[in-house]
Amino acid sequence: MNLDFPLLGLFGEVGSLMSELKKKQRDADSYVGYEPSVVEELGDVLWYFSVLASRAQIALPDIARKVTHGLGNPDQTSDEDADILFASLQPEMSQDGPKRSEAFERALMKLAGEVGHIAAEFSAGRISDNRDALSGDLVGIFRSLIEVANEADVSLAEAAHGNLLKIFDRWPSEKTYPPLFDEGYDREEQLPRYIEMEMFEKTVGGKTYVFQRCSGINMGDRLTDNKLEEDDYRFHDVFHLAYAAKLGWSPVLRSLFRLKRKSNPKIDEAEDGARAALIEEGISTWIFNHASRLNFFENLSSVDYGLLKAVRELVSGYEAERCPLWLWEEAILDGYEIFRKLREHRRGIIIADLNERTITYRELPV
């Protein structure tokens, strides 16, 4: 049985759950994200536990039945309990939300011990071919997990539901692009559906700048890296083009093309205003600092979930918050693929097709 991955994941997520408790104890009332974090981490623990049980070919309803009715043959099933629900395992919930308590701490330490035990047993080769022992260990972990959830006043059903939403937000069974945010507006207030932007370096007065040109018209200011140590951030407008192409969102480009949605004053002020543009610039800079440590995402097919989650938080309250994480990931990776080509050639034509949701590179003759 290939249990390495789910065991490592389960061990890591229990550690993350303990870390949330540590932050709450250390920072007390200043740690405002405690409750949703506990729910999320419990959902992650439950996901890895379910994968572990699946790899071991032991059904979750059978594990739940043993928690409530005692241990027995791991292959024994009961029609009566085939449809056992999380709610039946947590009959009494105060619904007061997770709290700091000695009982919660003890339950969490017990869960950590149970997971540590099964990891040690697997490492020693004592449970790979012993389903009875493995079933017993899984029952012990699940019993502790229920105890932790009860002491935290967290519904495991809620945690599982939230985890599924998170999974499909990142890895949907079918990727469907959401409508562009400015659909239904007049064309004069829509981002161009097809943009060809020329980017090229040019030396003026002994200093090298990046210029941008669209339809023969120079766009925006000439750019430098604005940093003592050069890092080619001067080409960063490619990220705004990627956000426009993939997400249908870029307050920066709206300002550059003078295409704000003036017909709706609230949208004009909030979604197309200076603050939204500053948030977009901040996201670009923050991701760039992260990417610079990873060779600008070269040869990577995914980005860290923590980064995507942080981006979602940065756009909270704005229309871009509705973009699924898989779409943000595409926008980031596709944008950096073009950025790396600009770094190599120092010039190029960037094509953003909002209808096709693509961004591509074409060489720009000298």
Beta bridge partners of 201: 210
Most confident segment among 50-64, 82-96, 271-285: 271-285
Q: Which two tokens stand for residue 270?
A: 């909030």
For the residues of 265-321, what is the DSSP string, one character each? HHHHHHTSSHHHHHHHHHHHHHHHHHHGGGGGGTT-S---HHHHHHHHHHTTTSGGG
Report the percent of the chain where pLDDT is more than 70: 89
Instruction: Give the pLDDT band of residue 92 (cuts 50, 70, 90).
Output: low
Q: What are the tokens at 296?
A: 């600008």
Per-chain mean pLDDT for the chain: 89
Listed range (153-157, 195-199, 275-279, 360-364) with the worst mean pLDDT: 153-157
Close Cβ partners of 141 (under 8 Å, ≥ 6 residues apart)? 10, 49, 111, 114, 115, 118
Give the span between the Cα atoms of 192 and 108, in whole angstroms.
53
First to last CA, the chain: 59
- Report the sign of the C-alpha dihedral through residues 50, 141, 36, 288, in that order: negative
Cα–Cα distance measured from residue 54 to residue 122, given in angstroms and rounded to the nearest whole number: 16
Report which of 297, 277, 284 is spatially closest to residue 226, judged by C-alpha positions: 284
Element (H, E) at 104: helix 102-123
- Pick the range with the lowest mean pLDDT from 58-67, 70-79, 144-153: 70-79
Span 200-228, mean pLDDT? 90
Ordered by start, the domain boundaries in the chain are 4-170, 187-362
Q: How far is CA 63 from the centre of its chain?
A: 30
pTM of the predicted structure, to 2 decimals: 0.86
d(CA 65, CA 67): 5
